[in-house]
Structure 1
Amino acid sequence: MSDPQSTHSNDTSTTHFGFKQVEKNQKASLVAEVFDSVAAKYDVMNDLMSMGVHRLWKRYTIDCAGVRPGNQVLDIAGGTGDLTAKFSRLVGSTGKVTLADINLSMLKVGRDKLRDRGLVGNIDYVQADAEALPFPDNTFDVVTMAFGLRNVTEKQNALDSVYRVLKPGGRLLVLEFSKPTSEQLSKLYDMYSFHILPKMGQLVANDAESYQYLAESIRMHPDQDTLKGMFEKAGFDQCDYQNLTGGIVALHRGFKF
């Protein structure tokens, strides 16, 4: 299939919501509707969609984050708290993890899940827009964002905002769907994403449309090298990425010096 990134509008007042063009000031509310719809079944669908592999991607991200006791960690678009749960144990009683998400439905699901697991005391929950993080400069040792950046309207603004709140010596890790490295894998992935995924969403979450958006939003997200360049534009050093599962997902990393 053709690359939709090459055909989208040059109108600076609009942006993409999946393959559709919408006014920039509408996108956040449209994305909110998607996550309000899927929040209750989010974890179940993640396991089904990725056949559990999302847990390995997240575990690898956690291993690469280098979080230590006493660290201040920000988990942006932290959703149902998969990364926050592990970070809470790693930072210990002297550290703090802030689970931030723009979507209140997702934040509530994450808070309830983590509290049910007995994770209290070193986790804060904040409803926050990644483009304008409500934290002081130089606050966090580590910032992570797993499967959230592609939903942000102005991605460069989000990276700039993260750079501001990181301490010197801090690091950002972005785990996100990306561009498969082989044409054959790309074709199989397209078939799965556009033909099977929406049907799965309909059966399990009674919502085909949100999962159609998911597939489209992945195709509209910057590829690996483009996103690396955006990290560098925000001021990050030693920027790199690692392809996971043939580039279906990539882990990007950058440091603030």
Structure 2
Amino acid sequence: MTIEPHPLLSAYYADRGERVAFVRALFDRTAGDYDRINNWFSFGSGDAYRRRVLAKAGFGPGQRVLDVATGTGLVARAIAKLQKGDGKIVGLDLSAGMLAVARARLPLDVVQGRAEALPLPDGSFDALTMGYALRHVADLATTFAEFKRVLAPGGRVVLLEIGRPSGAFAYGFAKLYLGHVIPALARVATGRDGAALMHYYWDTIDQCVAPTVILEALHEAGFEDVECRTELGMFRNYLARKPR
């Protein structure tokens, strides 16, 4: 059964078959500006937050890590700091433009591909990460099955995400800031493509399925120790482990 992370967003693509091409082109066009926009988005705290979450999840030296939807390598860079030169990181992304930026900023192996069909061997990684991109896949069930396939027994998954706040005030603030302020800043500083990226970013957050759906999909894929940790009502970290 297909489990979409959000319904079809007809403002961006006419049918589901166009989703992959739309997402690839959007991120290709905005790769050079992505880190700057992300820094505004996170009030400059993103790097410290990513390192803290990953350290708490047990990332460190000696691990083989696959960073899915690596983008410009923000999560991969945080992992590299925790590894201190001892370990391997592979960054995978749909967008060639994003991979070019990631490779320029961090000496990691990069692979162009989709989360739903990872072009990598079975059992080849000790851990897998995905930063703020689960909303961009076509099917959670297929994606999580692929995650489990490429992990070694006992391998861990850590998915950093942003979810729609539940409270009315928090939701109103998030909608104003993420849905209007950040796109406006992006338009002034980077042009129409940056604004389009941030509008799409907010709409996927706003329309994303509930955390319970994501947790159930991880369970159904065969993961154990599945949990969701939430900070400030909207920053969600999904954790799971492949059985030993």
1:73 to 65, 68, 72: 65
Mind listing any 5+ residue stretches in structure 2 that lack a counterpart?
A: none
Q: How far apart are 1:36 and its partner, in Å?
A: 1.5
Name the counterpart of 1:256: 242
1:165 to 127, 150, 158: 150
- Tell me the amino acid that sits aligned with residue 31 of structure 1: V
How far apart are the structure 1 equivalents of 2:13 and 2:219? Answer: 27
1:169: Cα distance to partner? 0.6
Summarize the alignment of residues 42-57 of structure 1 with structure 2, pairs less than 5 Å apart. Answer: 42-57=34-49
Matched, 1:150 2:142: no
Alpha-carbon deviation of 1:50?
A: 1.9
After superposition, the Cα gap between the structure-2 partners of 1:17 and 1:61, relative to the gap in structure 1 and judged at 3 Å, is farther
The one-letter amino acid paired with 2:119 is P
2:29 corresponds in structure 1 to 37
Match for residue 200 of structure 1? 185
**Partner Cα separation in structure 2 for residue 24 and residue 153 of structure 1:** 8
- What is the distance in 1 between the residues matched to 2:91 and 2:112? 8
Decide whether aligned partners of structure 1 residues 91 and 85 sit closer, same or farther in structure 2, where only a CA change above 3 A counts.
same
Deviations 1:223-256 (A, max 9, x none): 2222111111111111101112222x20000011
Q: Is the aligned partner of 1:245 residue 2:232?
A: yes
Count of residues paired in the alignment: 237
Q: 2:99 aligns with which of 93, 107, 114?
A: 107
Match of 1:217 in 2: 204
SS in structure 2 of the partner of residue 68 of structure 1: coil
Question: Structure 1 CA distance, aligned partners of 2:184 and 2:155?
Answer: 41
CA contact (8 A) 1:70 1:92 kept: no
Q: Distance in 1 between matches of 2:222 and 2:236?
A: 20
Q: Which runs of 5+ in 1 are unaligned?
A: 1-11, 115-119
**Counterpart-to-counterpart distance in 1, 2:54 and 2:101:** 21
Q: Which residue of 1 aligns with 2:112?
A: 127
Match of 1:60 in 2: 52
Deviation readout 1:73-117 (Å, 9 max, x if unpaired): 001111111222232344466531101111100000011112xxx
> Is residue 16 of structure 2 the alignment partner of residue 24 of structure 1?
yes
Of residues 78, 95, 98, the one that matches 1:86 is: 78
Deviation, structure 1 residue 177: 1.1
TM-score by length of 2: 0.89
What's the C-alpha RMSD, in Å, of the aligned pairs?
Answer: 2.1
Task: Tell me if the contact between 1:19 and 1:216 (Cα under 8 Å) persists in the aligned partners.
Answer: no
Shift in CA distance, 137/49, structure 1 to aligned 2, threshold 3 Å: same
CA deviations on 1:184-213 (whole Å, 9 max, x unpaired) are 111111122222122112111102222211
Letter in 1 for 2:216: G
Q: TM-score, normalised by structure 1?
A: 0.85
Please state whether the residue corresponding to 2:101 is helix, strand or coil.
Answer: helix
Secondary structure of the residue that 1:132 maps to in structure 2? Answer: coil
CA contact (8 A) 1:72 1:140 kept: yes
